Chain A
C-alpha cells in the first residue's frame, strides 16, 4: 500500500532533550516536506526536500533540522526542544513537488508535547 509513515505517533518529552521524528514513504517520491499544525494557524511548512541531499527551509525552520540521505526517508530532528514546539507534525511527499500539479500525500501525524 502506498503510504507515508511517521514515528512515533505520540511523544512527550522535556525541554532540551534531543528527539527525532522519522518519516518514510514507499512511493519513490522526490519531494518530501514537514509541516507543523497549530490551532488557528493551519499548516506551516518547516523544511522541504526536492531530492536526496537537497533540503531547504520553509516558513518556520527555527529549532529544527532535517536530512535526506535516502530518497524514502526524511527525519525531523529537534536538537533542543522547547515548549513552543509543542504541536502536531505532519510529513508529506509528492512525486516531484511544486509547479507540477501534483497532490501531496500526508502521514498520520505526530503529536508532540514538550514540557
Chain B
C-alpha cells in the first residue's frame, strides 16, 4: 500500500499553544493536501501545497513540504478549542489517478 503515515497519532495541547503534526508518504507526488475531520463527519479541505512549493500559509495554518524526505508538516498556531478534530494528509500519484490518505492525527485542544 502507498498509504502515508502521520505522527503523532494523538496530540493534546492547551488552548493558545501551537500544534504540529507530521505526514510521511511513500511515492513521488504532484500535490499534498491537508484535511480536517470532526468526529466521524465528512472531511473538509484545509490547504494544498504543490510539489514545487516548500511552504504555504493560510490564516493560522502553515504547511511545509520536503519532497526529498517525502514528508510534510502542518502547524496550527494559537490553537483554539474549536480546532479539536482529526487531521489527515492526502497525496496523489505522480502519474496515476488515486489519492492516498494518511492515518490521521487526533488533536485535542483543552480550553
Contacts and interface: CB of A to CB of B under 8 A. Distances in A.
Interface of A: 4, 31, 33, 35, 40-45, 48, 50, 56, 58-59, 88, 90, 92, 97-99, 101, 103-109, 111
A43 B98 contact: no
Given A98-B92, A103-B33, A106-B43, A45 B48 contact: no
Contact of A42 (B41, B92, B102): B102
A90 B43 contact: yes
Q: Give the most central of B31, B88, B96: most A CB within 10 Å.
A: B31
Q: Give the most central of B1, B30, B41, B42: most A CB within 10 Å.
A: B42
Interface string B3-44: 100100000000000000000000000110101000011111
Nearest to A3: B42
Interface in B43-84: 43-45, 48, 50
Contacts of B93: 98
Contact of B30 (A101, A104, A105, A108): A101
B42 to A, nearest CB: 4
Contact of A41 (B2, B94, B98, B103): B103
Q: Give the most central of A31, A97, A99, A111: most B CB within 10 Å.
A: A99
B48 A101 contact: yes
A40 B98 contact: no
B97 A109 contact: no
A76 to B, nearest CB: 15
A45 B50 contact: no
A56 B48 contact: no
